[in-house]
Chain A
Amino acid sequence: GAVVSQHPSWVICKSGTSVKIECRSLDFQATTMFWYRQFPKQSLMLMATSNEGSKATYEQGVEKDKFLINHASLTLSTLTVTSAHPEDSSFYICSARPQGLNSPLHFGNGTRLTVT
C-alpha cells in the first residue's frame, strides 16, 4: 500500500533556531501534501496544503513566514519551523493522497518537536 515517510520522528531544538521536517511519498507521486499539527488531546488541525511547484495554501491563523513549506518534487514536501519558540512544541504530521477517486489520505508517522 501507499507509504508516506516522515523524518525526523523527533527533534529537540533551542529557541530561535529553525527545524526542517521532511515528508516523502515512497511509492506514489503526490502533487499535493498536507501538513497537520496536533496538540495533546486535540484533533489533527490542518496547517497548510503543499502544492508541487507552487506556493502552499495556509489555513487561517497559520503564519506562513513561520512555517515555511517547500514542495520541490512530486515525492517530497518540507516544513521548516523558523525561529522556533517553546509554544511551537507539538506533534507535526504530513499526509498525501495517491491518485484515484476517493483514495484515502496516508499519513507519515509524525514528528515530535520540542523547543527548549
Chain B
Amino acid sequence: DQQVKQNSPSLSVQEGRISILNCDYTNSMFDYFLWYKKYPAEGPTFLISISSIKDKNEDGRFTVFLNKSAKHLSLHIVPSQPGDSAVYFCAASGYNYGGSQGNLIFGKGTKLSVKP
C-alpha cells in the first residue's frame, strides 16, 4: 500500500501561471515532508521541505502547504517558468519511522510541463 500518493501523473501549465502539485499521505507518523525535482537521467534535487509543526513554508517562487488533518500537502510554483518542467516527487519521513536517519518514502511523481 502506497504511503505517499501523488495522484496526478502529469500537469500542464502556461508560463506565468501557478502550478499546484498535490500529495497525500497515510502514515500519521510522518513528521517531515520534502519536495524534490528531477530531470531525466539525473538524480533528484532537493527543492523545499516542511516540518509538521508548520503549515506553510515559502522559498522564492516555491511554497509548500501542509494540512495535517487531511494528510495532504501541496507545492505551489508562482510564476511557473519553462525551466520548471520536470518530475516533482513528494517525500515523507519521520524520526520515529525508519530509524534515526529517517529514510524517505517517495510518491510516484508528477510530471510538470510549463508551456511558453
Task: Give the interface of A toward B (CB within 8 A).
Answer: 4, 6, 9-10, 32, 34, 41-46, 49, 57, 91, 93, 95, 97, 102, 104-110, 112
Asked if B46 is at the interface (CB within 8 A of a chain A CB), the reply is: yes
B48 → A minimal CB distance (Å): 9
Q: How many A-B residue pairs have CB under 8 A?
A: 56
CB nearest neighbor in A for B46: A104
Tell me the bound Cα distance from A105 to B46 in angstroms: 7
Instruction: Give which listed residue, A4, A10, A42, A97, contacts B101 with CB less than 8 A.
Output: A97
- By size class, the interface of chain B is 20 to 34
B: residues with CB less than 8 A from A are 4, 9, 32, 34, 36, 41-46, 49, 51, 89, 99, 101, 103-109
For B101, the chain A residues whose CB sits under 8 A away are 32, 49, 97
- Provide the residues of chain A in CB contact with B9, threshold 8 Å: 41
Closest to A36 in B: B106
Chain B residue numbers with a CB within 8 Å of A91 are: 41
